[in-house]
Structure 1
Amino acid sequence: MRARSFFAREAGAALVLRPSPTPPRAAVVLLHGGREEGLEPPPALNLPGARMLPFARSIARATAEHRVALGSVRYRHRGWNGERDDAAEDAQRALDELVALHGPVPVVLVGHSMGGRAALRAAAAPQVQAVVGLAPWCPEAEPVAHLAGKRVVLLHGERDRITAPGDSRRLTERARQAGADACTLLLPDGEHAMVRRAAAWHSLTTRVVSGLLGLAPLPPVVADALSSATDATAAVPAPGALHQA
């Protein structure tokens, strides 16, 4: 299914929302990856955006009977662009548009790479209850104080050479110190594009989102990591167990 048929686009809007016949009780907003620098708009054939479509479909199936709005953020620029924080600004615009449409419903943000960083920043919005970061970009000085009272689950492949798994670990440790419920899951053999064992990435992410929304139990490995008082990081047991973890 192509992006245009899955989400309804409105010219100039930051929020690209899947049509729903009923008012939502909660929302999930997806944020795709991008570049460190780039003032040009994302291209029409946007591979980072396309990579999030299987996640969108999987989450849509899991939440279909629960009045959960599903949307994505449309970026004005391809890059983060230093102190401009363009992707974070677009994420906040999308959240503002969601409030205007449906009120302050609880939101879970799901972001990959640069989109993970934007999701973490946008979690300052009061309606955001949780963030799921997929191979997120977590610079050393990324702020975490605003994550107090939020739930943060970062999923990172151990073989990622674009964003560092260790940066995710350190961010969740700092987020915990700031008052967040946070953990990092390390996926064996996982890489940045999430192509290797893609179905496992989709399934685990969907189960985490469903758990954070209260629609189903969290996967045990996530629940244990969030509740651990000693270690914010857990390894998914084995490559073949990613689906069941």
Structure 2
Amino acid sequence: MIEHTQNQSNITIRSGRRLRWTTADIAVAAALGIAAGVVFWGFNFAYSSISPILGGLLPGFASILHAVWYFSGTLAVLILRKPGSAVFVNLVGCAAEMLIGSSFSFGFVFLSAALQGLFAELPFALTRYRVFNLPISILSGVSTAVEYGVYLMLFRYQGVAFVSPRGIVHMVSEIIGGALIAGVCSWYLYLAIAKTGVLDRFASGRAVRTAATAGTER
């Protein structure tokens, strides 16, 4: 009985250490957030030019690109594997974007970033931050897409009904974009970054290195 209790205690301690933030985690998260903020800022200009074209083809279709604004949440959890990493990176990205200059209000961007981070983490949290693969990454992107799609319908597209053609196209496009951009693209971007060796100090980097080594030994 005593031995069983000690084993349980050791498991709890190891789990706590695994999920505890370190100085290196904070530094990488901050750098990732700043980089994401620059991407958000640049995409604001691209989206303002592209969205009218996509909207002209099919009202609501431009939502397929929205995931460029929230891919960072999924990518953050894949790299850092710590609770709160998506929220932290998204908020740093939001701050960086606003400092550079944004046409959107601070309140809108801040609230969007926080909510997107929470929903990006949800699938990983359900696995207790133990499962990191392409399906979970896609679920993270889809989860964020559903949240952001509904958020826009409630607070930005108030004149559009959920069951209207535009509302349906918007939500479907949002989910497809979330799955492909925030889910699939974030996963392969994480793999590409890890293969450079810059993440070797982190569990996420070692996992990719181990998988690559195992593949070459077969």
TM-score (norm. length: structure 2): 0.31
The structure with more strand, counted as a fraction of residues: 1
Quick check: which one's helix share is greater?
A: 2
Decide which structure has the larger Cα Rg and report it: 2
Higher RCO, 1 vs 2 (CA within 8 Å, ≥6 residues apart) = 2
